Structure 1
Amino acid sequence: MKQRLPVVAGQMPQYNQSQNSSVSFSFGDPEPCLDNRLTSYIGVFADLNGIYAPPVSLNGLIKLLHVNAQHGPILYFKRNMILKWVKPSAIISRRTAGKFAFDYLWSGNGYLQIIKNRLGGVMKLRHLPALTMRYTKERGVYAQLRSDGSITRFKKGEVIQIKEYDPTQGIYGIPQYYGGIQSALLNEDATLFRRRYYKNGAHMGFIFSMADPNLATEDEDALKEAIKDSKGVGNFRSLFFNNRSGKTDADKAIKITPVGDISTKDEFERIKRITTNDMLSMHRAQEALSGQSSGDSAGFGNLDRITSAYYNNEVVPLQQDILQINDYLPRSAHIGFDVPAYSDLLNTPDEKD
């Protein structure tokens, strides 16, 4: 008689046996993976303090930066490309410009505080973290949420906000990659599942079946212990079965049936490749430049031409977004970017072998 018993994670189950019964032991259900952390568009509403809440969870977008090996690094790469040609300025330091640009990329919003001298002239621009900045019901007035629960309100016109356009509301911006969040989460889920799959070792590897009614009890116990001891970190668990009736399908005394061949039964590599392509698309990133690889290309191509095309089609528009801060500054305080000598590269014929 076959008996199935509950299993405690990390332990081998106990079993009962009689001389004329079949003996087996098996395992319970696999442990669930981490729950999905989804962001949802909840709209923009003002609280009792007259402060508008962002339409999406900014904390969720921050956590998303570490979701996998592609999403966060691509955003850092785009920030570096923006800063690569920034002109040094006494109004805004390179460090401040980097923080501002990165906030704009991950949240769709960038904030700067205008610091003025005693004469009312612009002395410098100070970075304000997008994570804590909010717009108030008072026109042109922004507030900053403090970790102690207090709120700092700025004067009207003291804060510059640059935001992505959201057609549903005009208070906060939404990052351009927002539509690809599900692919980023699926990429993470696949990695976490594979890590747990190997780490806990509690997955079926093979069924070791016998049909020997004359097998000595001590020999049977020795076989069970040998199979049990083979389990470890990165290994599969297996199942031992002895049919004491002596009957098998193929009249074999010993039969080994593999059931845990993950190389053919799961789609880990396919999921990783598809989601990586999705993330490259949602960021409009060139894999040859950003250190990412979808695995679909044999080589990287002409890097000079790729760099030129990426600069013209992606970096320049981002720099133009950053330059919107000049609309709030006097001409003497305007910032700018150098222009690299890329104009001739797009007209350069491809190199032939």
Structure 2
Amino acid sequence: MSKRNRARRMSRQETAEASQGAIVASNDNRSEVHAFTFGDPEPVLSRATMLDMLECYHNQRWYEPPIALHGLARAFRASPHHSSAIILKRNMLAASLEPTKWLSRAAFKGMAQDYLVMGNAYGQEVRNRLGGLLRLDHALAKYVRRGVEPGRFWWVPGHQPEAEFAPGTVHQLIAPDVNQEIYGVPEYLSALQSALLNENATLFRRRYFENGSHAGYIMHVNGEFADGDVDKMREALKRAKGPGNFRNLFIHSPNGKDGGIKILPIAEAGAKDEFLGIKNTTRDDVLAAHRVPPQLLGIVPANAGGFGDVTKATDAFFELEIEPLQSVFLELNDAVGAEVVRFRERVKAAA
């Protein structure tokens, strides 16, 4: 082997660069190829998960919820399957309610929606002058905070001064959490990232068609053109983006050869497949978290067999999901001391 083709020894600077992620070609002095790495190692117990080991913060008056309630309220309409599943449960609960003189169907519907969206529901007692129970109102869970002292609750709207409810007049229903017992946590929390990804995919697809300046294809030209024709084509392509895009483009080449102009798509097919995959996968995650049969949400089956009998799915869904939710709201009867919540016995649709 000659000295010219022999691999030279790397210098200290090149060795340091290679240890940091740069690849240095030792046999080629004409150019250097640099590579970079991304994605640092993440610990199992990150700073975000360490917060699960702490108690809910309080300001000597009320506790702050472990999850931002305004964020859960915004995420309610992030995905059509997410909001539709919650609305379905809310409507079925409200339809099964037998209104009493203390609780209206409108107040119960608001409490049911708060419980399903935020994991907390609050009923406020309104009493007459003699101290008797007049009615049970719905207090928005987004603005109610549990006080540090037992039995006390605060109204914290944010845009107005906070106020304290009369002690002993607010009753809380919570979805149990494994980290604390002060506030409830919604059951769909594990699928919230999928719902947000579903929204991001839709918004990205909208921007993809709105801006009109994405790299949709490559125009490869290798024919013979008159002077200035290439500049004219370049100018026509520049004018074809933005509002009024997807225009037709006419090109005439008298001396050109067959195949001299080629259109090579680079992003459309791949982006379409990726979009459909994200939408379907995130939809399945959300429906699994809500445990809602797809035929109850109007989803079109992908196969000819369909999803099965909708009446049987409704009966199973009512027994497995709606009846357990009914038992949660029956706890208000023990808290108030009267039968404020009462449900009708349901006859199965399959029967």
Q: TM-score range by the shorter chain?
A: 0.7 to 0.9
Which residue of the other structure, out of 153, 165, 182, is the alignment partner of 1:171?
Answer: 182
Which residue of the other structure, out of 258, 264, 267, is the alignment partner of 1:258?
Answer: 264
For residues 344 and 239 of structure 2, the distance between their equivalents in structure 1, rounded to whole angstroms, comes to: 65
Amino acid in structure 1 at the alignment position of 2:75 = L
Please state how far the C-alpha of 1:215 moved relative to its aligned partner.
2.8
For residues 310 and 118 of structure 2, the distance between their equivalents in structure 1, rounded to whole angstroms, comes to: 30
SS at match of 2:96: coil
1:272 is matched with which residue?
A: 279
1:55-70 mapped onto 2 (5 Å cutoff) = 55-70=66-81
Please, which runs of 5 or more residues in structure 1 have no aligned partner? 1-38, 239-250, 349-353
Which residue of the other structure, out of 209, 231, 236, is the alignment partner of 1:221?
Answer: 231
For residues 97 and 342 of structure 2, the distance between their equivalents in structure 1, rounded to whole angstroms, comes to: 6
CA contact (8 A) 1:183 1:279 kept: yes
CA contact (8 A) 1:201 1:237 kept: no
Does residue 120 (structure 1) correspond to residue 127 (structure 2)? The answer is no
1:297-336 mapped onto 2 (5 Å cutoff) = 298-331=305-338, 333-336=339-342
For residues 169 and 158 of structure 2, the distance between their equivalents in structure 1, rounded to whole angstroms, comes to: 22
1:194 is matched with which residue?
A: 205
For residues 185 and 271 of structure 1, the distance between their equivalents in structure 2, rounded to whole angstroms, comes to: 11
CA contact (8 A) 2:154 2:164 kept: yes
Please state how far the C-alpha of 1:268 moved relative to its aligned partner.
0.7
For residues 176 and 108 of structure 2, the distance between their equivalents in structure 1, rounded to whole angstroms, comes to: 21
CA contact (8 A) 1:108 1:173 kept: yes
For residues 265 and 146 of structure 2, the distance between their equivalents in structure 1, rounded to whole angstroms, comes to: 57
Change (3 A) 1:295 1:318: farther
1:291 is matched with which residue?
A: 298
> Which digits, 9 at most, give the CA deviation of each residue in 1:228-284, with x for residues without a partner?
34435585799xxxxxxxxxxxx9771314133422355110111111011110001
For residues 176 and 259 of structure 2, the distance between their equivalents in structure 1, rounded to whole angstroms, comes to: 71
Does residue 136 (structure 1) correspond to residue 157 (structure 2)? The answer is no
User: How much identity, in percent, do the aligned residues show?
Assistant: 34
SS at match of 1:204: coil
SS at match of 1:125: strand
SS at match of 1:146: coil
For residues 278 and 302 of structure 2, the distance between their equivalents in structure 1, rounded to whole angstroms, comes to: 12
Q: Count the aligned residue pairs.
A: 296
CA RMSD between the two structures: 2.8
> Which digits, 9 at most, give the CA deviation of each residue in 1:90-143, with x for residues without a partner?
101110000010000000000011111222221100111000000111111111
Amino acid in structure 2 at the alignment position of 1:280 = L
SS at match of 2:308: coil
Amino acid in structure 2 at the alignment position of 1:165 = P
CA contact (8 A) 1:211 1:252 kept: no
Please, which runs of 5 or more residues in structure 2 have no aligned partner? 1-47, 249-256
Please state how far the C-alpha of 1:165 moved relative to its aligned partner.
0.7
For residues 187 and 234 of structure 1, the distance between their equivalents in structure 2, rounded to whole angstroms, comes to: 28
CA contact (8 A) 1:112 1:125 kept: yes
For residues 234 and 270 of structure 1, the distance between their equivalents in structure 2, rounded to whole angstroms, comes to: 29
SS at match of 2:228: helix
Amino acid in structure 1 at the alignment position of 2:121 = G
For residues 85 and 52 of structure 1, the distance between their equivalents in structure 2, rounded to whole angstroms, comes to: 34
SS at match of 2:125: strand
For residues 262 and 216 of structure 2, the distance between their equivalents in structure 1, rounded to whole angstroms, comes to: 10
Change (3 A) 1:253 1:337: closer
Amino acid in structure 2 at the alignment position of 1:225 = E
1:203 is matched with which residue?
A: 214
1:101-116 mapped onto 2 (5 Å cutoff) = 101-116=112-127
Change (3 A) 1:253 1:183: closer
For residues 281 and 140 of structure 1, the distance between their equivalents in structure 2, rounded to whole angstroms, comes to: 36
SS at match of 1:327: helix
Please state how far the C-alpha of 1:334 moved relative to its aligned partner.
3.1
For residues 207 and 46 of structure 1, the distance between their equivalents in structure 2, rounded to whole angstroms, comes to: 56
1:29-108 mapped onto 2 (5 Å cutoff) = 43-108=54-119
CA contact (8 A) 1:183 1:278 kept: yes
